Amino acid sequence: MDIGTAILIIGFAALVAAFLLLVIGLVYAELMNSDIPRGVANSGKLHMVHGLFVGLAIVGRILDRLGICQQVNFVRWFVACFLTRLRPVPAGLRVKDLKFSEVPVRLYEPTAMCDGLRRGLVYFHGGGWVLGNIDSVDEVCRHIAKESETTVVSVGYRLAPEHRYPAQLDDCETALCHFLSVAEAEFSVDANRVAVGGDSTGANMAAALCQRLARTEVGRLPFPCAQVLIYPTLQMADFNLPSYQQNHAVPILFRGRMAFYFLQYLNGDVSLCQDLLEGIHVPTELKPSYKEWLSPSNLPPEFLARGHSEIATAQYDAEVYHAIKAGLEHEVSPLLADDAAVRKTPPTFILTCEYDVLRDDGILYRKRLLDLKKDVTWRHVADGFHGVINFFNHGWLTFPSAAHVVDSVVDYMRTL
C-alpha cells in the first residue's frame, strides 16, 4: 500500500469516526431532553427505542442537508429494512394484498368456519400522516382478525409530505366505500357490521371519516357500525392540555412533534410550529366554544394529579389562522365538530394511554359523546405510552402493554 492510499484510508476512517461522534453527541443531548416517568412499563427499553429513533432522525437530517436523500425517506427506508419483519402467515388466516379503487389494501380473512356473514374492520395505520404503512401494523391486524374472527382491511393511504390533506382521508374513504360495496358478494362480510378504526392519526381519520359520511348522508351504502379509536389525535386547537404538559417530553411523541405532524399534513410550513404551540392560530370568536369542549375541568380528577398550569390566552394572529384554518375544521379536528355532527357518529371505542400527549383528546371526545347520549366504550392503559401498538409482537422491541391495547380491541370487536 502506498502512502497516498494509506492517507486516504486514515482520512476516511477519521471522517467516519467524527461523524459517529457527532451523531452520538446529538443523540445524547436529545436523550437528556426526554422524560420517561417511573410509571411507564419497561422504561429502560423505551429509553433504548427512543435513542434509536432519535439517531435515525439525526442521521436522516444530516443526509438531507448534504443533499443525499430526504430525512423522511431515510427513516422510512431504515424502518422498512431493519425494524419491520413480515412473518409467515399463521394457520387460520388468509392474507392478500389487493387494490380497492387503486388504493393499496391488505386483507386479513379468518379461515375458520363461520355461521353466516362475518363482521369487518377497515383499519388506518398511524404515523403522523408521514410515516407508517400496511406492513407497520401487519402483526396488529393479523391478531385482531384471527382472535376476533373479523375480516380486517388495512389501508395503505398516501402520505405527506408527498401528498397533503385531504389526500389521506380521501384514500381512506375510497377504500372503505369500495369494501362496503362488495363486502358480502366478494368477502362474505356483513356490510352492516363493518367498523372503521385506527391508531393515532389513523384514528383521527376514522373519526373524521365517520363525520364526513354522516354529513354527506350517502344512502346507498351502510354507515360504519362503530369507530375504534386507539390513542387518537382529535384536535389542533390546544397543545397545552394537561396531557400535553405532563407528557411533553415522553417518547415517542413529544408535544412539539405533534404540531409538526399537523403542519406536514396540512401544508408543510413547519415554521408555524411554535405559533401552534402558543395557540395564536385560534380566532377569538371560536375560543368560547373550544374552551367549553377542551376545558381541563372536563377531565376526571385523577388526570390532573400530575399537575398542569393555566396558560395565558395567546394573542390571535389572523395570518397564522388563514395558513392553517383547515386544521380547525371537523375533518382534521373531529373533537371540534358541532353537536349535530358528533351526534351522528356510530358507537365508539376509545383507548387512551397515561403517558401520551394525546391522552386528553380521547378522554374529552368521550365526554362529548356521553353528553350527547352516545354509546362509548373506554379503556385506559395506565402504564402505556403513545405508539406502543407499533411494538406488538416485535421480538426484542415488544412491550407487554402493547398486548393489552390490541386485546382490548379484540374484546370490543367481538361485541359487534
Contact residues for 316 (Cβ-Cβ < 8 A; gap 6+): 280, 281, 282, 283, 284
Beta bridge partners of 104: 99
| Sign of the four-CA dihedral 245, 249, 252, 255 | positive
* H, E, C per residue of the chain: CCHHHHHHHHHHHHHHHHHHHHHHHHHHHHHHCCCCCCCCCCHHHHHHHHHHHHHHHHHHHHHHHCCCCCHHHHHHHHHHHHHCCCCCCCCCEEEEEEEECCEEEEEEEECCCCCCCEEEEEEECCCCCCCCCCHHHHHHHHHHHHHHCEEEEEECCCCCCCCCCCHHHHHHHHHHHHHHHHHHHHHCEEEEEEEEEEECHHHHHHHHHHHHHHHHCCCCCCCCCCEEEECCCCCCCCCCCHHHHHCCCCCCCCHHHHHHHHHHHHCCCHHHHHHHHHCCCCCHHHHHHHHHHHCHHHCCHHHHCCCCCCCCCCCCCHHHHHHHHHHHCCCCCHHHCCHHHHHCCCCEEEEEEEECCCHHHHHHHHHHHHHCCCCEEEEEEEEEECCHHHHCCCHHHCCHHHHHHHHHHHHHHCCC
Active site annotation includes 356: yes
**Is residue 117 within 8 Å of 190, Cβ to Cβ?**
yes
pLDDT tens-place string over residues 199-247: 999 999 999 999 999 988 666 899 999 999 999 999 999 999 999 999 9
Instruction: Please report where in the chains the cell 395558513 appears, as a residue.
Output: 323
> Cα(212)–Cα(345) distance, rounded to whole angstroms?
10
**Is residue 87 within 8 Å of 160, Cβ to Cβ?**
no
Instruction: Point out the catalytic residue in the list 136, 200, 401, 408.
Output: 200
**Is residue 389 within 8 Å of 230, Cβ to Cβ?**
yes
Strand ordering across the sheet containing 227-230: 93-100, 103-110, 150-155, 118-124, 189-199, 227-230, 348-355, 376-385
**What pLDDT score does 351 carry?**
98
**Is residue 333 within 8 Å of 327, Cβ to Cβ?**
yes
**What pLDDT score does 82 carry?**
83
Domain boundaries, the chain: 3-83, 93-235+328-415
Active site annotation includes 148: no
CB atoms within 10 A of CB 303: 19
Instruction: Point out the catalytic residue in the list 138, 171, 275, 356.
Output: 356
Beta bridge partners of 350: 229, 378
pTM, rounded to two decimals: 0.93
> Cα(284)–Cα(296) distance, rounded to whole angstroms?
19
**What pLDDT score does 72 carry?**
94
> Cα(362)–Cα(234) distance, rounded to whole angstroms?
7
Active site annotation includes 34: no
**What pLDDT score does 140 carry?**
98
> Cα(31)–Cα(47) distance, rounded to whole angstroms?
8
Q: For the domain with range 93-235+328-415, which CATH number is right: 3.40.50.1820, 3.90.600.10, 3.40.30.10, 3.40.50.300?
A: 3.40.50.1820
Instruction: Point out the catalytic residue in the list 386, 401, 404, 408.
Output: 386
Rounded alpha-carbon distances, angstroms, from residue 39 to 82, 252, 273, 315, 382: 29, 15, 29, 36, 8
**What pLDDT score does 32 carry?**
54
Counting as low any pLDDT under 50, the low residues of the chain are: 11-16, 18-19, 22-23, 26-28
* H, E, C per residue of 251-316: CCCCHHHHHHHHHHHHCCCHHHHHHHHHCCCCCHHHHHHHHHHHCHHHCCHHHHCCCCCCCCCCCC
